Chain A
């Protein structure tokens, strides 16, 4: 119930932020979100804010700079749009990061079996591949008395890709057989 409520609140907040266009209001909402995150998570809130900033910085700086240069050469004002864009996108990124930290996505969608099925498959793949990459990284570090050279790191990356491909293929086949056995595919014709 808690997770479903969080998901619903997040969806409402994202849609609502899309209707707010005044930079002053967006700044106030951003300050409110940061304040709530600080109250709930302490200094971790600043780490989340830094992650959010890093996630949106490249695209936002590119679009903002391009628009500012175009507006400046055309003799038009650019500050309102640049503020509006950056405040809104940063606020949405913060909301998304806060949600991913606090929600159990499987529980949040457990009322809708088809969506839950997809979420479980995706999360399972992410966790399995993440664990495999972590194990490879630890194996490389533990077998290297000094920092591995670029050549060694490339060879390790190539072997990780090969193992990932093999595991993904194996899991896809097992999943396919499991779904076929449970009647998901009707390919008798």
Chain B
């Protein structure tokens, strides 16, 4: 129950960031076609950012699960 939401949180954030970065060449280029802020489109940013975050999301999910388990084990009875 912890792994999936944490993994989704990481991956959704990565997809949104990749899309924001990937839209930059389309949004802002000069007259010569040179990008003003970021050069690569979504065909580059999506795989480069999202693929590593599929694994990072699993690691973050496991870390969250470990921390929550440790807190639960230390919780004093009410």
Contacts and interface: CB of A to CB of B under 8 A. Distances in A.
Interface of A: 18, 21, 63, 66-67, 70, 76-77, 80-81, 84-85, 165-166, 169
Given A66-B40, A67-B40, A81 B67 contact: no
Interface in B12-64: 30, 32-40
B70 interface: yes
Contact of A84 (B33, B36, B40, B71): B36
Contact of A80 (B34, B37, B71): B34
A81 B71 contact: no
Nearest to A81: B34
29 contacts: A18-B37, A21-B30, A21-B36, A63-B38, A63-B39, A63-B40, A66-B40, A67-B39, A67-B40, A76-B33, A77-B32, A77-B34, A80-B30, A80-B32, A80-B34, A81-B34, A81-B35, A81-B39, A84-B34, A84-B36, A85-B37, A85-B38, A85-B39, A165-B67, A165-B70, A165-B71, A166-B74, A169-B71, A169-B74
Nearest to A18: B37
Interface in B61-78: 67, 70-71, 74
A24 B30 CA distance: 15
Which bucket holds chain B's interface residue count?
Answer: 10 to 19
Contacts of A63: 38-40
Contacts, number: 30
Given A77-B34, A81-B35, A165-B67, 17 more contacts: A18-B37, A63-B38, A63-B40, A66-B40, A67-B39, A67-B40, A70-B39, A76-B33, A77-B32, A80-B32, A81-B34, A84-B34, A84-B36, A85-B38, A166-B74, A169-B71, A169-B74
Contacts of B67: 165
Contacts of B40: 63, 66-67
Contacts of A67: 39-40
A84 B67 CA distance: 43
Nearest to A66: B40
Contacts of A77: 32, 34
Contacts of A81: 34-35, 39
